[in-house]
A = this chain, B = another copy of it.
Amino acid sequence: MLNEEDFKGYRGIAKSVLKQMNARVWSDVEISSTRGIFRGIILPRAETLDDKFIVMKLRNGYNVGIKADSITKIKEFDYKKANYQIPEKEFPYDPKKPKVTLLGTGGTIASRLDYRTGAVIPAFSPGELYGSCPELADICNLDTKKLFGVFSENMGPEQYKELSKAIDDEIKKGVQGVIIGHGTDTMHHTAAALSFMIQNSPVPIVLVGSQRSSDRPSSDAAYNLIHAAKTAAYCDIAEVMVCMFGPTSDIYGLLHRGTRVRKMHSSYRSTFRTIGDIPLAKVEDDRFIYLRQDYKRRRTDTNLNLLPFFEEKVAIIYYYPNMQPDIIYSLIDNDYKGIIIAGTGLGHVNKPLYNPLRKAVENGIQVYMTVQTLWGYVHMYVYETGRDLLNLGIVPLENMLPEVAYIKLGWALGYKSNPEEVKELMLSSISGEITPREQLNGYIILQGGLPEVEKFLNHNIL
């Protein structure tokens, strides 16, 4: 006799179909539908907008949603809920090891199923984490705190502020480092926010997540967590950093400065890249390789500047050809306080936007220019059109990334009310968000480069 737990999260059509076909959550089944035949585990669902899909975890580890009304048959092979339980063991305490706190925001990187399916039995308590990743106990004494459970794309100013206060609390209590478990989608935005809200930290603040859930063979979850724990416990870099999988087939982590990092691939494990520069360090099994010397060092005091402010009426205008004035006028009408333009080339937009931009500036909106090429600097003195925009009162932000500029402007407008003070904050590099020059070896090339491609080709002579 099936009960409500067996249809967890399902309602409407989807639930009816499950009932009708005698199928249940956690069953290992074969689903026949008009779209094909699928073999996998039926997952429970989180509270959601729809009642149309039955979600299953395929054998290759991917989740897939199958339209309930396309299903013709469900054949059950097995029922193995127990497989998804994580063995829980008491996290051993070693007085000789550093203390580290892991703050959870919703990205439970060491779960047995992906955190966003709602199907997760999350590994989050120290005991669960130890059970699923025993190496952690060799590194540090781990404590965990769940701050909130939101998807990464729903993180915003309220969460940034709360998170920065929680980090401050932990550091005041004397931990040797803080780890933040975070979904990868907006990890770089949160890293930027923390870089401005927490200044002068005495210890590493490490954001970590995973691109592949930990029940998949290629998961990066455990490696990333181990690298992040090592960094929090021992690394000399007392900055806000993203710690994620490096870009080769070797397994190592990279530490990216929180204001110079961006997610650059929707699915690869090596998605995070330091833009316009090289990463701060590499985390290997047995060592850190410090790639640069320009970082803030770990200290033994517990002082820092906590500045948890954010003005929410800020927007990024990502320029595209033929952009219409109404886009800017709407922001003025809706009372925006700040605009970050991601312009083309050295920082340009088309002429029809000049009038609305002038009006925006006259209305006291702070307008700044960044480049949508991502690599390189704004240079508005080079061309007439750039100088026209300067004359309108648009301020160039050097090589600050558009997303970082957005976060920084929200923070600066929340922090200071005097426009000149806001501008001064925007133009000074507080946490490495503006660099005096971009390294040639921080620019992109093809993986392996053209020589690798050419090796396999016959040369066609002109």
User: Across the interface, do B345 and A263 meet the contact criterion of CB distance under 8 Å?
Assistant: yes
Q: How far is the CB of A278 from chain B (nearest CB, A)?
A: 5
Cβ of A199 < 8 Å from any Cβ of B? no
Q: How far is the CB of A314 from chain B (nearest CB, A)?
A: 8
User: Across the interface, do B263 and A344 meet the contact criterion of CB distance under 8 Å?
Assistant: yes
Knowing A186-B321, A266-B345, A376-B265 are in contact, say whether A447-B453 is a contact too (CB < 8 A). Answer: no
User: Across the interface, do B461 and A286 meet the contact criterion of CB distance under 8 Å?
Assistant: yes
Residues of B within 8 A of A378 (CB): 266
User: Across the interface, do A441 and B447 meet the contact criterion of CB distance under 8 Å?
Assistant: yes
Knowing A312-B322, A320-B316, A381-B65 are in contact, say whether A454-B289 is a contact too (CB < 8 A). Answer: yes
User: Across the interface, do A446 and B278 meet the contact criterion of CB distance under 8 Å?
Assistant: yes
Cβ of A442 < 8 Å from any Cβ of B? yes
User: Across the interface, do B322 and A157 meet the contact criterion of CB distance under 8 Å?
Assistant: yes
Residues of B within 8 A of A449 (CB): 248
User: Across the interface, do A346 and B266 meet the contact criterion of CB distance under 8 Å?
Assistant: yes
Contact of A445 among B247, B326, B374 (CB under 8 A): B247
User: Across the interface, do B49 and A354 meet the contact criterion of CB distance under 8 Å?
Assistant: yes
Cβ of A114 < 8 Å from any Cβ of B? yes
Residues of B within 8 A of A116 (CB): 383-385
Cβ of A33 < 8 Å from any Cβ of B? no
Contact of A447 among B55, B313, B391, B442 (CB under 8 A): B442
User: Across the interface, do B287 and A461 meet the contact criterion of CB distance under 8 Å?
Assistant: yes
User: Across the interface, do A460 and B290 meet the contact criterion of CB distance under 8 Å?
Assistant: yes
Q: How far is the CB of A332 from chain B (nearest CB, A)?
A: 11
User: Across the interface, do A334 and B330 meet the contact criterion of CB distance under 8 Å?
Assistant: yes
Residues of B within 8 A of A21 (CB): none
- State in angstroms the CA–CA spacing of A157 and B320 once bound together: 12
Knowing A230-B462, A330-B326, A384-B48 are in contact, say whether A266-B157 is a contact too (CB < 8 A). Answer: no
User: Across the interface, do A267 and B376 meet the contact criterion of CB distance under 8 Å?
Assistant: yes
User: Across the interface, do B346 and A48 meet the contact criterion of CB distance under 8 Å?
Assistant: no
User: Across the interface, do B321 and A52 meet the contact criterion of CB distance under 8 Å?
Assistant: no
User: Across the interface, do B273 and A444 meet the contact criterion of CB distance under 8 Å?
Assistant: yes
User: Across the interface, do A453 and B65 meet the contact criterion of CB distance under 8 Å?
Assistant: no
Cβ of A422 < 8 Å from any Cβ of B? no
User: Across the interface, do B440 and A447 meet the contact criterion of CB distance under 8 Å?
Assistant: yes
User: Across the interface, do B234 and A462 meet the contact criterion of CB distance under 8 Å?
Assistant: yes
Cβ of A117 < 8 Å from any Cβ of B? yes
Knowing A268-B443, A282-B450, A443-B447 are in contact, say whether A153-B373 is a contact too (CB < 8 A). Answer: no
Residues of A104-123 at the interface with B, using a CB-CB cut-off of 8 Å, are 114, 116-118
Residues of B within 8 A of A457 (CB): 289-291
Contact of A117 among B247, B278, B374, B383 (CB under 8 A): B383
Residues of B within 8 A of A443 (CB): 247, 265, 268, 446-447
Residues of B within 8 A of A117 (CB): 383-384
User: Across the interface, do A384 and B312 meet the contact criterion of CB distance under 8 Å?
Assistant: no
Residues of B within 8 A of A316 (CB): 318, 320
Q: How far is the CB of A111 from chain B (nearest CB, A)?
A: 14
A positions within 8 Å CB-CB of B: 45-46, 48-50, 52-53, 55, 62-65, 114, 116-118, 151-157, 183-186, 189-190, 230, 234, 246-248, 263-268, 271, 273, 278, 282, 286-291, 312-313, 315-316, 318-324, 326-327, 330, 333-334, 342-351, 354, 371, 373-379, 381-385, 387-388, 391-392, 403, 406-407, 410, 440-450, 452-454, 457, 459-462
- 16 more A-B contacts (CB under 8 A) besides A154-B350, A247-B443, A289-B457? A45-B384, A52-B391, A114-B383, A117-B384, A151-B383, A155-B321, A248-B449, A265-B373, A266-B345, A266-B346, A266-B378, A278-B453, A289-B459, A330-B330, A444-B445, A444-B446
Task: List the 6 closest pairs (A to B, CB-CB), nearest first.
Answer: A266-B376, A330-B330, A318-B318, A185-B345, A156-B322, A185-B344
Pairs A–B under 8 Å by Cβ, sample size 7: A55-B384, A156-B321, A184-B345, A185-B345, A230-B462, A273-B444, A326-B334
